[in-house]
Amino acid sequence: MIHSDAVIFGLLLATLGGVFWTTESKHPFWRRFYQYVPAVLLCYFLPAIYNSVGLIDGEHSVLYTIASRYLLPATLVLLTLAIDLPATLRLGPKAITLFLTGSLGVVIGGPIALAIWQALAPSVVDPQLWRGLTAIAGSWIGGAANQAAMKEVFQIDSDLFGTMVAVDVVISYIWMAILLWIASHHRRLDRALHADTSAITTLAERMERFSLERARLPTLADIMFMLAIGFGVTGLSHALAAPLAASFKGVQWAERFSLASEFFWLVTIATTLGLALSFTRARNLEGAGASKLGTAMLYVLIATVGMQMNIGAIFAHPALLGVGFTWIAVHALLMLIVARVMKAPYFFLAVGSQANIGGPASAPVVAAAFHPALAPVGVLLAVLGYALGTYGAWITGQLMRLVSE
């Protein structure tokens, strides 16, 4: 019914506004509703409903192309800009080790789960399924921005991508519920593990000071600086990506590993430059809300991804839930083994895992379940995941490609 991109864009933004307005509502219905339905799921699936019932024409719209080429790189820059590596490293080796263990669990868990289900149900595991699974890898190591990047790097069909989003959301929120249960029983679990929790108290006090020192109201200059950095780096990334991709054209091994893909270089360069800027004074823009601005742009991207989905395709691959649960089980088992060997508090296990699987939106929730002042720890580790997500998901994709061949 609607073919004008201007009208569609207005509808998408109005939809996002409606979702976030209801998330802030004090009405009992909405408070109860969002206990069970994550807002990000609505931001994907309401546009998908518009497309599925024929209200909008997502297939022929250029909005996703614009969002993925311009908003996504700027989003990656603003999110990685927030990384404070010195502060993150001061969390101690156990926190960093368990976070990286969680990332490793996703990287190796994908190929292992795919191999298991290829053996158990070869007739329902498509040879090209590994491409779609890279979207889950991008989300589980980094976040939605990295997930969207994998969609382009590995050329994932929109219907399959929609299925992967559903699997991602279902499994990640079940896992989050388990981690919140761990948080409510962490003292008993820590005693059983003989873990030293004294660092947690010190950490809580340090993070309280950290939050107070950084926060400030953004000025117009701050907003313009953030836009200049985000889109300036995006422009530079485009300028560098085109010749780099062209230099690998026709090289068989390079094309096999996506090195001839301009989009691969676009997101990789943007992520790398954002990480480099985190070591400069530009990082101070996080106090004015750099990551909030990046997240706002990310939700616009999410809506444009959703408008390309066909909801009926979600039910076309029932074996995917089995692959997903096997995958998360490998991740969990590896983290439990490392935590037990290190005698690390369950706080580090839970937050390190959720920083990978859930990202910045939910990692602070799990951290705050242990202590409210520890919420920024979840943010720090999850934002670090944005820097690793593009690289880790790409490696996971190549491993899954080998398994599928």
Can you give the residue ranges of every domain in the chain?
A: 83-288+312-404
Cβ–Cβ < 8 Å for 160, 132: yes
Rounded Cα gap, residues 300 and 67, in angstroms = 7
What pLDDT score does 254 carry? 77
Cβ–Cβ < 8 Å for 294, 274: no
pTM assigned to the model: 0.70
What pLDDT score does 317 carry? 63
Rounded Cα gap, residues 3 and 386, in angstroms = 34
What does DSSP assign to residue 2? B
* CB environment 283-305: b (16+ within 10 A), e (fewer): bebbbbbbbebbbebbbbbbbbb
The first and second tokens of residue 192, run together, are 């059983």
Residue carrying structure tokens 């101070």? 284
Rounded Cα gap, residues 322 and 170, in angstroms = 12
**278 φ, ψ to 5°?**
-70, -15
What pLDDT score does 34 carry? 85
Rounded Cα gap, residues 368 and 360, in angstroms = 13
What is the pLDDT tens value at each position of the chain, 405 positions in all? 888 899 999 999 999 999 999 999 999 999 988 877 778 778 888 998 898 888 988 778 899 889 888 998 898 888 888 776 676 666 678 888 999 999 999 999 999 999 999 888 877 677 788 888 999 999 899 877 788 788 888 888 877 887 888 788 778 878 887 887 888 788 888 887 777 777 676 666 665 665 567 778 899 999 999 999 999 999 999 999 999 989 988 887 777 666 777 888 888 898 889 889 988 888 888 888 888 898 889 889 888 888 877 766 556 666 788 889 999 999 999 999 998 888 888 888 998 998 889 876 677 778 877 876 676 677 677 777 777 888 899 999 999 999 887
Q: Which amino acid is at 325?
A: F
Tell me the β-bridge partners of 56: 2
